[in-house]
A and B are shown apart, each in its own frame.
Chain A
Amino acid sequence: MSVLFIVLPTALIIAALGVWACMASASRGQFDDLDTPPLRVLSEEAD
């Protein structure tokens, strides 16, 4: 169980990476428009 001392920090680092990726996407404006993508899905069905 002492592996926990390695696993826990590693898991938290991975979580931090995830959060950083989320924040980077937000800065790049990927979350600016949440209404058009659902419409785009409908359109893609036509292709």
Chain B
Amino acid sequence: MSTNSAAPPRISASVACTHCSLAVPAGLIEPDAEHQFCCTACATAYSLIHSCGLDAYYRLRAATETDKAPAKATGKRFSEFDDPTFTSLYTKPLAHLQGGYRTARLMLQNLHCAACVWLIEKLPSIVPGVIESRLDFRRGTVDLTWDPSLTHLSRIAQALDSLGYTPHPSKDGEAQSLRTIEDRRFMKKLAVAGACAGNVMLLAFALYAGAFDTMQSSYEQTFRWLSLVLGLVSLLGPGRLFFKNAWAAVRTRTPHLDLPITLALLSGGVFGTINVIRGHGEIYFDALTVLVFLLLVGRFFQARQQRWAVDSIELLFSLTPTSARRLKDSAATEVPIESLIRGDLVEVRAGDSIPADGVVVSGASKVDQSLLSGESRPVTVAEGDHVAAGAVNITSTLTLRVEATGEDTRVGRLMKTIADAASRKPPLVRFADRISGIFTWSMLGLSAFTFLLWLLRADLATALDHASALLIVTCPCALGLATPLVFTIAIGRAARHGVLIKGGDALQHLVNKDRRGTLFLDKTGTITHGRMSVVSYSGPEDLKPLIAAAERHSSHPIARALVAAFGDLPAPDPHEQFERLVVRQVTGGGLEVTAFELNREPLHLRIGSPAFVGGNAHGLDGLDPTLTPVLVSVNGEHAATIGLGDAIRADSPDSIRTLQSQGWDVQILSGDDPALVRSVGRALGLPDHACRGGLSPEDKLAIVRASTQETTTVMVGDGVNDAAALSAATVGIAVAGGAEASLAAADMYLQRPSLALLVDLTTAARRTIRTIHCCLCTSVFYNAIAGGLAVYGLINPIIAAFIMPVSSLTVLAVVYRRATFPVRATNSPTAPPPHPLDTTTPTATAARTADLIPV
């Protein structure tokens, strides 16, 4: 059969896995089976779900999930979960029920949607003996209660693992329980504050009604005394928080937002009490209690947001092992990890996590460091090499000498850095703090002036009234409430759109208001896709499905690129199929394929490098020399030429133009070939001197450092390889690599490597700052009016109760209404924020094109 008249080869269209909906490799398709699976993990998960009658899971997932990924079971036995030490450390007997039940909290990986919640909470019907299972999605933990006489924790763990959610013991620890107690206490304060505010307002309404007419004295007094009682409950209960902070600020002589608030609360409280006892005079408990409540609500939201950042760091720590095998005189004993000290010798078997930072004393093995570095490719270690806690030992036993344990390990220090950074105050918040100091003094001064003024014009009582009214009414709500809240909300919204931000100060620097900032971009993975893809193809269209079918048998990056480009094409004629494909992989060359068709001569194909495929030299004609060539020959004759390269992302050119219009000097820093970098730069409209290639991580660090001295520098790069440069920049934005490791070095982490997202981010930063300015202006305006009215003696409780909440609520409304992230069609706003432990989110892997040519 000559190639010129080759009939189009027929193959069946790609099949989707029933469990994860991704394509099933051709080699695993079983023609007669009702359901196809892409891997054994998916098959196991499906059979378990189906056998328990829980197929609703798939309907639910289709409705709520955005990312698809195969099940990731580890197949471990989890027998250590039944170990008595484990039982005593991580499980508890259930106190209030008879029956000897035990309860434990496990941390789960790979949670990503509402369907997971449903499925895991159906665990009692999957594993007999489980009484209850309750998932905490944000923390990624499941609280299990089971009957030890019916089942073992290891069995439950195995079930969770086969469903795809690998369990780990939850290192709840002291910190977590303390925080839970603190949160609950805050909730209770909110409840009390809210109840008091509501009831005092009701009483106040009655009093307002009586203000225009007269009210019978006994009623009026009742209302006033009740207001006093409730007001004092609110001020001395939930309100104590502000007094404590203010007192601390006074002692340390630092300005703090709570100072002016305390001033208002104190003066209102004291004068209100006096007036109630006297029987006449204005009381302001309504305004005060509402103020306390609203301020606490603002702080509640703030705390929750900050909690998210700290929680996700602690999840990282939970993944380090709980016990280690310490070697003493060649005998290994299992000890809790807390008892390890420097110098101990530990044995780490294949499959175990490394318990502490150490040096390999004997043994050689491959280690998976993805926890820290995000690189899933195993690293070979041998005697003398350093390994870090949290890495997984894959192939064979290692003996380590411990160098650092617990908080001193890289993992431990990582946690601390991130937790510290989360509590950094953005410059605007610090500015607000300073302003509040000035504010306090000026209000005190103004109040004294008012007091004297009215003392001369009227009497003492009036003077006290008006002076205290001034202190109560002038409220720095925008400072105390809005500014931190705006940052918190912006960070929360950003998280929902796929941007994890460590602290508000980074967001503020992104504004670049002096228009002199420099933005360094990494090329591979950020501007480009970071992987090989088909850029050009010349040859018959019908050959593409056949190429894809053949290349599915290989896991080489080039094969994956070909499958990605051609694999989804519909078969030209679905009725004719290949009986079989025989594929032979030749290392360093390509694939040799024999395709057996019905009633036809078998086709012999060669797909690979020009050297391997042979044939005529014209195959390379017209191909762009910067691309990697792959030739296809059918029965010895050249049939197609494929050009592979690292394509520029579609949104890159526009994004770069927008960034330039925002005033950024955009430059490219890359480790790739300089000529390649320059050609990419040219395609994007960047001058040659702005595109630097061939840089090592140290070079990049030097460039970034130099730039930081001069101007605001933003570095966008791979969280793993560019870690040093990222932390040196004013704002470091990581776009790839493990999330945890990236956040240690960078200030922000983009979960999708897309420049369009970066543009959204800078736009959002500007809107955030504008919102804050807007709030500050509102506050100044309000205080000017309110202060003026107070000095003139025009304030009474009705007016105060009206304008104070109005100012707080206006500020809150401004904050919430001004959307800080533009909503794009591709984002689903109702999707839960990507879980920090979700390892299924695709990450781009940087690939040097030169390494991939099969030679």
Contact = CB atoms under 8 A, between A and B. Distances in A.
Interface string B47-72: 00000000010011001100000000
B188 A29 contact: no
Contacts of B64: 42
Contact of B184 (A19, A31, A44, A47): A31
A33 B136 contact: yes
A29 B56 CA distance: 30
Nearest to A22: B191
A39 B226 CA distance: 42
Given A8-B222, A35-B138, A36-B138, A19 B195 contact: yes
Interface in B490-521: none
B219 interface: yes
Contacts of A26: 184, 187-188, 191
B118 A40 contact: yes
Secondary structure of the A side of the interface?
A: helix
Interface string A1-27: 100110010011001101100110011
A44 to B, nearest CB: 8
Nearest to A1: B219
A23 B186 CA distance: 10
B226 A29 contact: no
Contacts of B118: 40, 43-44, 46
Contacts of A15: 195, 198-199
B137 interface: yes
Given A15-B199, A23-B191, A4 B184 contact: no
Interface in B807-855: 832
B117 A43 contact: yes
B114 interface: yes
A4 B192 contact: no
B597 interface: no
A16 B237 CA distance: 14
Interface string B714-743: 000000000000000000000000000000
Interface of B: 56, 59-60, 63-64, 113-115, 117-118, 121, 135-139, 180, 183-184, 187-188, 191-192, 195, 198-199, 216, 219, 222, 226, 230, 304, 832
Given A8-B226, A32-B180, 13 more contacts: A15-B195, A15-B199, A18-B195, A23-B192, A26-B184, A29-B180, A29-B184, A31-B184, A35-B832, A36-B138, A39-B117, A43-B115, A46-B60
Sort A-B residue pairs by CB-CB distance and give the 9 closest, nearest first. Answer: A43-B118, A22-B191, A42-B114, A26-B187, A39-B114, A35-B138, A36-B137, A46-B56, A23-B188
28 contacts: A1-B219, A4-B219, A8-B222, A8-B226, A11-B199, A12-B226, A19-B191, A19-B192, A19-B195, A22-B187, A22-B191, A23-B188, A26-B191, A32-B183, A33-B139, A35-B138, A35-B832, A36-B135, A36-B138, A39-B113, A39-B114, A39-B117, A40-B114, A42-B60, A43-B60, A43-B114, A43-B115, A47-B56
